Amino acid sequence: MALIFKIAWRNLLRHKGKSIIIGVILFLAAFIMTLGSGIISGMDRGLELNIVNGFLGDIVIISKKEKSDNILFKMYGESIETITKYKDAKKILQSQEYIKDFIPVGKNMAMVLNEDEGDPGFAMTLGVDFEAYRKFFPDSFTMVEGSYPGKNEQGVIIPMKAREDLYDFINAWFLPEKGDIVEKNLTADAKENLKDLNIKRTAVFMGMSEGNYTSDIRLGVKGIMKFRALNTMWGHFSIMDIESYRKCLGYFSASDLSLEVSGDKKELLAMDDSNLDSMFGKGEFFVRDRGSSDISGISFKSRKGRETVGDIDYEAGIYNLIFIKLKKGEALDRSVGRLNEVLSKTELDMRAITWKKASGAIGSMAVIIKGALFTFVIFLFFVAVIIIVNTLSMAAIERTSEIGMMRAVGARKGFISGMFIGETAILSGLFGGAGIVFGIAVVNIIPLLHITSANDLVQLLYGGDVFKPYLSAGDTLVAVVQLVIVTFVTVVYPVRVAMGITPLDAISRE
């Protein structure tokens, strides 16, 4: 073996031209495959950080009545079906060992009143328990103005993107209740009109739905925030307290359910649709609007001065979605399957979907971009193989006299094949190894350059607002395995060519 590698090394030195060409190709192939793996892994890591851990979780539970999986960016005005039995679902989710954590939220579309007359603006809204949401998505956004709402405090947090859009639509610049203008956060148009800027510190949200059961609610602006990444996408979502959200959408709120109601009315409110229908024969007494929990026909008397109450059971009210995070290492699709199997055995009318389906176009684009990157890397893999095979085959043919003479003095076919494999292995180890090392270096240098983009599609490629390729130990091992595969695949045909050369071929060549 040592003799074979010694002869292989001498042959490489004798045929420097061909050796350098093959070496450069191996270097580029190894470098591009390593960099490609780094970009794909960085994208995966970024999407997990900014979508899974920053906005949606791994799995989203929706109502079985919900026809579309795309619940994040549905058509304007189209409401999401409600989840009315969260407390029952909570017990089931707590018993699943593969689930790390979960949080219920409300999500729908709302209009923002133009109080100076004119067309209203639009805002996607999330209704949350601020304290629970902050724990579930830690550091998912930063407050650029104002402060985070306190426990059980009513109000709304408006993203910078939504504030800019609302300024364009209704010519109002929203500020926190206790905040002043921060010039660096103004848009170019707002700066030009700074003296006449229409300042608003409260906003009137008007719920949107297919039925006429929503209401209006005025909320104080507690803060202006910016998401950690993908701010152009997430920046459309204003976050308000769950009780205000429910009142805005016309849903049963926890405070409504906590009011004292007579026994027969309480029994009526607790009934599901099938029991209500049975009370009034075959015809339905209520016309059920999609996604609604209409309380317009029932008169509740609010307690004086009761805007926020600490002892209300907020989990008793209406939600639209449940975000779920899985424990580390749990397979996404397998977990969704297991959860749906459990839910199908209950009467909760809920189903689980992956974050990719829930995010609609975002999830689809992420899969497409990742697939395109992987295809590109594989394409380069095959191009490199073809070029190297062709170069090695030509080198074998050009060395017909040399190989024929070696066969004439007793060299066996195994020795000839070993010599070619040794030459390719040396080139692969030196040049291919250098390509992997260079690729690792570039992957680690790129994040230091802090390359950013505000474009949504580019941010999906980056996995966030900053381009951060990433290579784990496993990714590096994969790059080495890919290089080994390239080495052995490329040498198969040239070895067959070399082994087919006879002493007679050498004489005829002369």
- Report pLDDT for 60: 96
Instruction: Report helix, strand or coil for 104.
Output: strand
| CA proximity to 447, closest of 460, 434, 463 | 463
End-to-end CA distance of the chain: 31
On the 0-12 / 13-18 / 19+ scale of CB atoms within 10 A, 438 is middle
Concatenating the DSSP letter of every residue in 165-183 gives HHHHHH--EE--TT----G
Q: In whole angstroms, what is the distance from residue 100 CA to residue 479 CA?
A: 32
Alpha-carbon torsion angle 65, 67, 70, 72, nearest 10? -40
Instruction: Report helix, strand or coil for 377.
Output: helix
On the 0-12 / 13-18 / 19+ scale of CB atoms within 10 A, 482 is buried
CA distances to 42, 207, 311, 321 from 315, in Å: 37, 21, 12, 13
Give 10-residue mean pLDDT values along the chain (510 residues). Answer: 68 73 86 87 79 89 90 72 92 95 94 89 92 89 89 91 93 93 92 91 85 78 88 88 91 66 50 48 41 39 40 82 94 95 93 89 72 80 81 77 76 78 84 92 90 74 79 86 84 79 65
- Report pLDDT for 302: 35
DSSP 8-state symbol, 145: E
Q: In whole angstroms, what is the distance from residue 384 CA to residue 363 CA?
A: 32
Angle at 248 between CA 244 and CA 253, to 5 degrees: 55
The reply to whether the predicted model has a pTM over 0.75 is: no
Token digits for 312?
A: 């209300």
Query: Radius of gyration over alpha carbons of the chain, in Å?
Result: 32
Contact 182, 145 (CB under 8 A): yes
DSSP 8-state symbol, 75: P
**In the chain, domain spans:** 2-51+364-509, 65-299+307-348
Give the count of beta carbons closer than 10 Å to the beta carbon of residue 459: 23
Q: In whole angstroms, what is the distance from residue 207 CA to residue 80 CA?
A: 12
| Per-residue b or e along 39-68, where b marks 16 or more CB atoms closer than 10 Å to that residue's CB | bbbbbebbbebbbbbbbbbbbbbbbeebee
Token digits for 275?
A: 């029991």
Q: In whole angstroms, what is the distance from residue 339 CA to residue 62 CA?
A: 12
Contact 316, 257 (CB under 8 A): yes
User: What are the CB-based long-range contacts (under 8 Å, 24+) for 63-70?
Assistant: 63/320, 63/349, 63/350, 63/351, 64/349, 64/350, 64/351, 65/290, 65/349, 69/353, 69/357, 69/358, 69/360, 70/357, 70/358, 70/359, 70/360, 70/361
